[in-house]
A = this chain, B = another copy of it.
Amino acid sequence: MLTYTFSKAEGVSLYEQLYRHIKEDILSGHLTAGEKLPSKRTLAEHLKLSVITVKNAYEQLIAEGYIYGVEKKGYYVSNIEQPLHVEAARHLPSVEKEKTYLLDLVTNSISAENFPFTVWSKLMRQTILEQDMGLLQPMPYNGALALRQAIAENLQQFRGMNIDPEQIIIGAGTEFLYYLLIQLLGRERTYAVEDPGYGKIARIYQSNQVPLRRIGLDYAGLSAQELRRSDADVVHISPSHHYPTGIVMPITRRQELLRWAAEQEGRYILEDDYDSEFRFVGRPIPTMFSTDRHERVIYLNTFSKTIAPSIRISYMILPPHLLSEYRHRLSFYACTVSSFEQYTLAAFMSQGRYEQHINRMRNRYRQKRDAVIGMIRNGPLAGRAEIMEQDAGLHFLMQLDTQLSDQELRRRAAEKGVRLALLSDYYSDSAGAPQHVAVVNYSGIELKTLQQGMERLAELWEE
């Protein structure tokens, strides 16, 4: 008969102690496959335990598959393999530590100190009070109505877009929306991206293993000719401000692309309107979504660039027939953004705080831009750097007067503590790309370190 000792000191219940003892006996081989266990009553009497205690232990062992019961016969030991010890310390791959730079022109960080955090946290607290238990209720698949209404109103007022809040689908970041779009439009279609362009977008399409084409640009943005020559069905563009060239697509090219889309069933334009809030000259340009009359344009935008990168709220706007399709096939996906953050942002927008914030940021970025450009033109790089494309957005191009290759330029700059983003990095084939053009992502630059960084960079011309 099984005989074990039990301890009250361990703080482990009797049933669990019994369970462990029997389990160990099975694992160690003291109890072998097929062996019959004593009945609950017999074992309980033998060990001076209650029948309930033995019953609980047996049930746990049954649930875990160590023993099995045969009706009206009793309990038997299962035929199991010896489980194996998993090493406590696994061999985890180590993480590379990122190099830190004196001056980093690659990372386009949003200056968090400019965010009206006091207002935001007040709205957060209000949301907790007002929504209360509502925060725990499930969300519609397309996001909180209050937020979709606030977005529709904002787009009406500042982009002249006339849309219904039902057309908006909220998602946790634009990257996630691309994924939904691939499912909506289908993996059979061929997708096209701008070349040069924002590398992450191509990377997402590649990671999703959909057919991908890269379409070159000319002075007016994505080449309609090249697009026509390709077999692309869906083209991803950022007409209001192309990254990294800064090109604002003129209306003629926009219309050409709209014509291309309308010509054939199943062609679509993904209009990525990120950064359009930070135009410094003139009024924002009307979106392609609002000039399209064939339901060929899907509009995308994000709050990560205008509020903070940690705010993972983006949205897309679908034309009516795609909305039907989406509801039919994809509305089973739950909305990925927490209700709390949606309500907070909705309040931030409907109280006019978002508009205020954008206006303030636009002014600050303009000032910063002017200061950065001034320092480049009049500082240690004077005569060695020429500013190009300064129309819109949070970056501009700077042509450097050097004979070094781009690779060498980057390496030497890095040695001096300056991290350069070069235009050629954004080309799929850097061979034909313009050389010695730096992309200056200025929003996160500190003017003090910029001065130092430019001095270090200027040393390249003295070596």
Q: A: which residues have CB within 8 A of B? A: 16, 19, 56, 59-60, 62-66, 68, 78-81, 83-86, 88, 90-93, 95, 109-110, 112-113, 115, 117, 121, 124-125, 128, 132-133, 135-139, 162-164, 166-167, 172-173, 175-176, 179, 183, 187, 200, 203-204, 207-209, 220, 248-255, 259, 281-283, 285-286, 290-293, 304, 307-312, 319-320, 323-324, 327, 329-330, 332-341, 391
Residues of B within 8 A of A95 (CB): 166, 327
Known contacts A80-B251, A341-B341: does B312 contact A282 (CB below 8 Å)? no
List chain B residues, Cβ under 8 A from A81: 255, 259
Instruction: Assess the A90–B207 pair: CB atoms within 8 A.
Output: no
Known: A128-B125, A136-B308, A320-B90. A391 touches B332 (CB 8 A): no
* Contact present for B291 and A83 (CB under 8 Å): yes
Say whether A65 contacts B250, CB under 8 Å: yes
Are A78 and B320 in contact, CB atoms less than 8 angstroms apart? no
Q: Which residues of B contact A324 (CB under 8 A)?
A: 93
Chain B nearest CB from A240 CB (Å) reads 10
User: Which of B84, B93, B135, B179 touches A320 (beta carbons < 8 Å)?
Assistant: B93
Contact A253 B65 (CB under 8 A): yes
Contact residue among B112, B293, B327, B341 (Cβ-Cβ distance under 8 Å from A133): B112
Beyond known contacts A78-B250, A135-B310: 18 more, CB 8 A cutoff: A64-B285, A65-B252, A65-B253, A66-B251, A83-B251, A84-B291, A85-B293, A86-B162, A125-B125, A136-B308, A139-B310, A175-B333, A187-B209, A203-B332, A207-B329, A304-B334, A312-B336, A312-B338
The reply to whether A327 and B93 form a contact with Cβ atoms under 8 Å apart is yes
Contact (Cβ within 8 A) B323 A339: no
A167 and B92 contacting across the interface, CB-CB below 8 Å? yes
Choice from B63, B66, B115 contacting A248 with Cβ under 8 Å: B63
Whole-angstrom distance between the alpha carbons of A283 and B311 in the complex?
39
Q: Chain B contacts of A341 at CB under 8 A?
A: 338, 340-341
Within 8 Å CB of A93, what residues of B?
320, 323-324, 327
Residues on B with C-beta less than 8 A from A133 are 112-113, 115, 117
CB distance from A335 to the nearest CB of B (A): 7
Please, which residues of chain B bring their CB within 8 A of the CB of A310?
135-139, 338-340
Closest 6 CB pairs of A and B: A65-B250, A65-B251, A60-B282, A136-B308, A172-B336, A112-B136
A244 CB to nearest chain B CB (Å): 17
A-B contact pairs, 9 of them (CB 8 A): A64-B250, A66-B251, A68-B250, A80-B252, A112-B136, A136-B308, A139-B310, A310-B339, A311-B338
A166 neighbours in B (Cβ, 8 Å): 92, 95
Nearest CB on B from A10, distance (A):
15
Bound together, the chains give a CA A133 to CA B68 distance in angstroms of 57
Complex Cα spacing A339 to B166, Å: 28
Task: List the B side residues contacting A79 at CB < 8 Å.
Answer: 252
A337–B309 contact, CB under 8 A? no
Closest to A162 in B: B88
Tell me, in angstroms, the Cα distance from A460 to B91 when the chains sit together.
61
Q: Which residues in B have their C-beta under 8 angstroms from that of A292?
A: 86
Say yes or no: A334 contacts B92, CB within 8 Å: no
Q: Taking CB as reference atom, which chain B residue is nearest A112?
A: B136
A249 to chain B, nearest CB (A): 8
Distance A28 CA – B164 CA, assembled complex (angstroms):
29
Distance between Cα atoms of A311 and B254 in the complex (Å): 41
Q: Which residue of B lies closest to A308 (CB)?
A: B136
Q: Is the CB of A338 within 8 A of B338?
A: yes
A95 to B252, CA, bound (A): 37
Q: CA A128 – CA B56 in complex, angstroms? A: 45
Residues of B within 8 Å of A110, CB to CB, are 136
Chain B residues whose C-beta falls within 8 Å of the C-beta of A64 in the assembled complex: 250-251, 285-286
A359 to chain B, nearest CB (A): 15
Q: Give chain B residues whose Cβ lies under 8 Å from the Cβ of A84.
A: 291, 293
In Å, the complex CA distance between A312 and B339 comes to 9
Cβ 8 A contact of A207, one of B209, B253, B255, B330: B330
Q: A128-B124, A293-B86, A310-B138 are in contact. Are A63 and B336 (CB under 8 A)?
A: no
A63 to chain B, nearest CB (A): 5
